Every structure is written in C-alpha cells, then in structure tokens.
C-alpha cells in the first residue's frame, strides 16, 4: 500500500505486533510505570483488628444506659491504649480504657466516645459520660476496608504511586510485572551530528533522535539510542539485522523520501522485509 489513513496505519501496525509475555519481579518502588502482571489479592484484613477512629475512651456501651447530663455514667479508667500498642484485658462493669486514634479496641469493649464529650479526672482516673452510646458507635471493624482474598488491583493495570501505597499498606514488597519493551531508535543521514559536537559546514544537529527517545521515556519505555548512520544501505541493513536480536522494535528516522540518498527503500529490499504501507494521508 502506498498512502493510507492514520487509522488504517495504526490498525495495520497493531495487527503485526507480538504481545510481550515476559514477566519479572520488581520491588514495589521500582515497579512504578510497569504493567502489573498478576492480580493482587489482599493477604490480610484491613484494618487488621478492630480499631478506634478517634482519641477518647472505650468501654461497654450497655453501661451507659440511662446516662444523661443530670445523671452521668461514671467509669474507672484502667489504663491507656496507644496506636501500635495492644491490650486485651477484661473490664468489669463501669470500667473503661483511654484509647488513641488507630489503637486496637479490646474485645470486651464495643464503642468509643470522643474525649471532648466527657469529663475525665486524671487524679482519680474517673470518667463521666453524659449520654447513652450505641453498640459499635465510633467503632472500626477488622476487615472493614479490605478482607483477606479480596481483589485489590487487577492484572494489566499500569502501576501508579497510588498502587504502590496500596501495596505497602498490605505488606507487599515485591510484585510481578510485565517486562517493558526495548525499542531502538536509529537516525539516518550523513549530515547529522550529535549535540555537543562542533557544527561543521553542511551539517545539522540530530534533533529527531532525541525527540523520539524522550517520547519513549515519557511513555515508560526503555529506549535504545543508536548513533546516526551514513547513507549506506548495506551497512544500515547489516546493522539492523544484528540489532533486531537485542531489541523488541526498531524505529528509524530519515531516508524514506525519494531522493538519491533516501536509502530505506533499498534497506528493506536487502533485509527481504515487507513494506506494509508508505506515507500516511
């Protein structure tokens, strides 16, 4: 085909692409931008225990039945529970624990009240509550956000910083990812110089190479940058044949018009390759 539409060109190329099926294991911080190669199922309940959503006090809600401003329920505060700590002591009637946000709620307690709603005497460790509380009020249940075995991230998603945060919250330090394609970029033209070289008469700097490599990096692809080659079809075809063993795809720029030095038409013949189309309308 000579000249085709952009849509047909994309469809034609995609029909010829071999899907990568090689996977590798990456530390979660190194997995950013990769395609996830496995379903991530939660290995734990999140939260992993019943926990307090606020700073306050925890006790049995039934001990507040009938409590009011005029008739407060009075509790003895046994001890304090902090985030990262653990306490599962049993409490008797009208006993309570002081508890901080994120701390585990003891099994003998079924509610939490904000510290701003109560009167607590630190000298006597006595607590006054002026209203009734409901069973499981201000109570975060184990597995409330995620349960063991629940699907968290689907295979095939591109890993973002949000995913990495989720992996870390589940205790996952490594994930299976799809290997990124390795794409080479080769520019053709005896007139091309690399940036930093002295600009000679008749020469120009090779901007296409850097634009294409940068675009690949932006897309999360490993780009291989080759030095520009002169307009010699035999040398170019030999180079391409050799390098195609080391990369997944090769992009060439230059040498595709109709001038005497536009050698890619000859290169295609020497490689015994098929030209799918030439030019996009």
CATH number of the domain residue 164 falls in: 3.90.105.10
Domain membership flag for residue 190 = yes
Domain limits for position 162 = 24-44+148-178
DSSP for 110-122, written as a single string: -EEEEGGGEEEET
Considering the domain architecture, whether residues 161 and 235 belong to the same structural domain is answered as no
Which of these three, 102, 129, 156, is where a domain ends? Answer: 129
Considering the domain architecture, whether residues 187 and 261 belong to the same structural domain is answered as yes
Give the CATH number of the domain where residue 76 resides: 2.170.190.11
Domain membership flag for residue 134 = no
Considering the domain architecture, whether residues 88 and 11 belong to the same structural domain is answered as no
Which of these three, 68, 98, 129, is where a domain ends? Answer: 129
CB-based contact 189:231 (threshold 8 Å): yes
Considering the domain architecture, whether residues 228 and 260 belong to the same structural domain is answered as yes
Q: How many domains does the chain have?
A: 3
Task: Compute the average pLDDT of residues 163-174.
Answer: 95
Considering the domain architecture, whether residues 222 and 251 belong to the same structural domain is answered as yes
Considering the domain architecture, whether residues 222 and 209 belong to the same structural domain is answered as yes
Q: What is the rounded distance in angstroms from the CA atom of residue 205 to the CA atom of residue 178? A: 35
Task: Compute the average pLDDT of residues 90-102.
Answer: 96
What pLDDT was estimated at residue 19? 85
Domain membership flag for residue 136 = no
Domain membership flag for residue 95 = yes
Considering the domain architecture, whether residues 39 and 152 belong to the same structural domain is answered as yes
Q: What is the rounded distance in angstroms from the CA atom of residue 143 to the CA atom of residue 127? A: 31
Considering the domain architecture, whether residues 64 and 81 belong to the same structural domain is answered as yes
Considering the domain architecture, whether residues 156 and 223 belong to the same structural domain is answered as no
**Lookup: tokens for 87:** 């306490």
Work out the mean pLDDT of the chain and round it to a whole number. 92
Domain membership flag for residue 279 = no
Which of these three, 65, 100, 129, is where a domain ends? Answer: 129
Beta bridge partners of 146: 46
Domain membership flag for residue 49 = no
Domain membership flag for residue 71 = yes
Going by C-alpha positions, the residue among 243, 182, 238, 244 that lies closest to residue 213 is: 182
166 Rama sector, left if φ>0, alpha if ψ -120 to 50, beta otherwise: alpha
Considering the domain architecture, whether residues 222 and 107 belong to the same structural domain is answered as no
> What tens digit of pLDDT does each residue of 52-76 get?
999 999 999 999 999 999 999 999 9
Going by C-alpha positions, the residue among 273, 274, 222 that lies closest to residue 248 is: 222
- What number of other Cβ atoms are within 10 A of residue 149's Cβ? 10
What pLDDT was estimated at residue 257? 60
Give the CATH number of the domain where residue 228 resides: 3.40.980.10
> What tens digit of pLDDT does each residue of 219-264 get?
888 899 998 888 888 999 999 999 999 999 999 988 766 556 568 8
Considering the domain architecture, whether residues 163 and 192 belong to the same structural domain is answered as no
Question: Using CA of residue 224, residue 227, residue 233, residue 234, what is the dihedral sign?
Answer: negative
Domain membership flag for residue 51 = no
The dihedral over CA atoms of 245, 254, 251, 32, expressed in degrees to the nearest 10, equals 130
Stated pTM of the model: 0.73
Considering the domain architecture, whether residues 187 and 264 belong to the same structural domain is answered as yes
């Amino acid at each position: 085909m000579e000249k085709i539409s952009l849509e047909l060109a994309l469809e034609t190329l995609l029909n010829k692409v071999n899907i990568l099926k090689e996977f590798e294991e990456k530390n979660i911080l190194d997995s950013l931008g990769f395609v996830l190669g496995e379903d991530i199922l939660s290995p734990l309940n999140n939260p992993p225990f019943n926990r307090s959503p606020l700073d306050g006090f925890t006790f049995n809600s039934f001990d507040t039945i009938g409590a009011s401003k005029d008739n407060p329920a009075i509790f003895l505060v046994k001890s304090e529970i902090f985030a990262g700590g653990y306490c599962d002591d049993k409490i008797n009637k009208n006993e309570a624990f002081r508890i901080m946000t994120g701390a585990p709620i003891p099994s003998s307690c079924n509610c939490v009240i904000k510290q701003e709603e109560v009167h607590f005497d630190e000298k006597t460790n006595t607590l006054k509550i002026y209203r009734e509380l409901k069973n499981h009020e201000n109570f975060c249940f184990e597995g409330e956000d995620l349960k063991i075995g629940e699907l968290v991230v689907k295979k095939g998603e591109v890993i973002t910083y949000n995913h990495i945060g989720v992996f870390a919250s589940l205790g996952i330090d490594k994930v299976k990812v799809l290997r990124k394609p390795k794409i080479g970029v080769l520019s053709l033209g005896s007139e091309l110089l690399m940036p930093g070289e002295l600009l000679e008469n008749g020469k120009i700097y090779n901007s296409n190479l850097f634009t294409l490599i940068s675009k690949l990096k932006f897309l999360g692809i490993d780009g291989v940058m080759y030095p520009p080659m002169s307009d010699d079809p035999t040398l170019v075809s030999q180079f391409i044949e050799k390098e195609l063993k080391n990369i997944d795809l090769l992009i060439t720029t230059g040498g595709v018009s109709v001038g005497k030095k536009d050698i890619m038409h000859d290169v295609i013949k020497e490689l015994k390759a098929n030209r799918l189309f030439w030019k996009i309308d």
